[in-house]
A and B are shown apart, each in its own frame.
Chain A
Amino acid sequence: MRYFWMAGLVGIIILASAVRAEHAAINLRVIRVDSQTREEKDEINTTVVHQEPPGENVEQRPLFKARVGEPLVIQFILTNTYPHGEKKDVRIRYFVVREAKAKQKTVPDPREGGVAQGRFTLNYKPKCRVGVRQTFTINEPGSYLLRVQTENTDSDHEHFAAIEILVEK
């Protein structure tokens, strides 16, 4: 009887870990480019993927400093690492949006104050990838959030990666 309960407990742990399994690997970059030659100058990148809930420790969010009007590039590749079948109508959303204060915890609505944004809806099969490279400039000084996130994955959590952009005059 004791072995029966132990086997059950192991089964529950395996099931729980499968449910909490990572669904996405994200390589997110923000790159400064030369306005004339379009050569890449420097960048901040992150491969740290957070789950929401619980969210991230905002103090550990990577910081990129830029100047007003400077040509910048967002680049990311998101790979589905969930191996257990296809999920329908998953959304991948990315945006650069102005924050009320630096490294704020609540995510601003990209429909208000969004500098660049996009979304894709697709059937999310194992190992499928979504990639974006987009040029943009920020014309107002302040703190901005660059974020790539999954939505509608039919799970108890979603995944995201984020970079803080501080724009100075």
Chain B
Amino acid sequence: MRVSVQEAPFDLGGESDAFAAGHVDMGAIVTFTGIVRDLPDDPMQAMEIEHYPGMTEAALSDIATQAMTRFSLGDALVIHRYGRLVPGELIMMVATAARHRKDAFEGAEFLMDYLKSRAPFWKREISAKGAEWVAAKDEDEAALNRW
């Protein structure tokens, strides 16, 4: 299991290959990647991501550990960036390895649902109109109830 909170870009292909390598007893690997999405009506110049150093790493490790146990994962990876990003850049990725695909998919969804509203990151969208903090969505909080 590995958790990385970083400002630098990550190599999706390299990370995915490295994660997939060396698992002889895991039949399924799922990866999810989050990308900075432009705003159709108000072109975004940048997205700034703030986080809480120390707590972020601890919260992500805790969430990943829970996913490992709950879905019998053989391995899990979480990479999340902070700082200033532009549309099209990769923000984050998760990867899960399990014996069977159902656990790998569900483990990845669990990781995403929890890190969206339980890991201390805050996004701000910057456009010609100014800068605005992204509001948390009720549906993101509600998504936790399924687990």
Pairing of A with B: no
**A residues adjacent to B (C-beta < 8 A):** none
